[in-house]
Structure 1
Amino acid sequence: MAGSVADSDAVVKLDGGHLNNSLGSPVQADVYFPRLIVPFCGNIKGGMRPGKKVLVMGIVHLNPESFAISLTCGVSEDPPADVAIELRAVFSDRQLLRNSCISGQRGEEQSTIPYFPFIPDQPFRVEILCEHQRFRVFVDGHQLFDFYHRIETLSAIDTIKINGDLQITKLG
């Protein structure tokens, strides 16, 4: 019995002190465990390819104006990185706009959807499935639309950017 108490104390000391101290400052810890703070920018390991899916789960703010989820080719600001797909939810018009931006030129914007899936102060789940010719976009398990690729090298699409009136709860 005494041995198990000593073992418990060792675990408590390791969890309570040593382990936390080994992470260093909170800034250093963020490198290893990044917080899902908006605006968010993260790497898609290995880039996109047919069969790969990007998952964004979150909660819409209480009084939202808009939010955007973009898959881009890197993070460059000057010149701006190519945008393979940008999904922009606009609450005043109840629209989910889609577009791309290649070599600084925006493509033709698409807006047709069967219904507007986002509700203020409610959770959502967006899945962007990459196929050979298109992205298939699902919201809360329902396919909402297809967006045909405008960037040919899918593996170059290696960054996700999220901004606007939402809180991110999970990325995958």
Structure 2
Amino acid sequence: MKTNILPAIKLTLALLVLFVVAYPVLLWGIGQLSNGKGKGAVVVQEGKTYYKNIGQSFKEAKYFWSRPSAVDYNAAGSGASNKGPNEEAYLTTVEQRIADFSQQNPGVSVSDIPVDLVTASGSGLDPHISVAAARVQVARIAQQRNLKEAQLLALIGDHVEQPLLGLLGPEKVNVLMLNLALDRLDSSF
């Protein structure tokens, strides 16, 4: 028994030092080499600070709406609702989101509403929407801001992020960056 306890204690202490000290210090060091010095992708506009890679709520009709969040866009509590597609409460929530979207976008048929505008992502913090989800909101925003739809479509086109390595994932649009550009476009007139 003594022959097993001493090696077990040594192994425990070695792994404790490795995973509690060395690994976090290594990750912190790698973070310091990144653009945001480990603090995330920060964007500052008109004195306000935003985090580019964390989904944010945009509810006003003059903005592109984000993907819904099961955690109310709280980065401290990232997570999904864990509700399945057959659960009544979940279906009621999605139906309400569809009704809300249809009310604010009367020219869009229910079958044309992209799924990412009425369902939350796995993390609840997805900062992106699909290109189709951005385009389906153009008529509402053009009317609210008195802009031409072609201007908004061009703005969306300028903010499309391509799949990783051209293969992995769909084309997407970062909602925060698109809305900040929309505010700059609106203020330039």
TM-score by length of 1: 0.30
Q: Which has the higher contact order (CA 8 A, sep 6+)?
A: 1
Bigger share in strand: 1
Normalising by structure 2, we get a TM-score of 0.28
Structure label with greater radius of gyration: 2
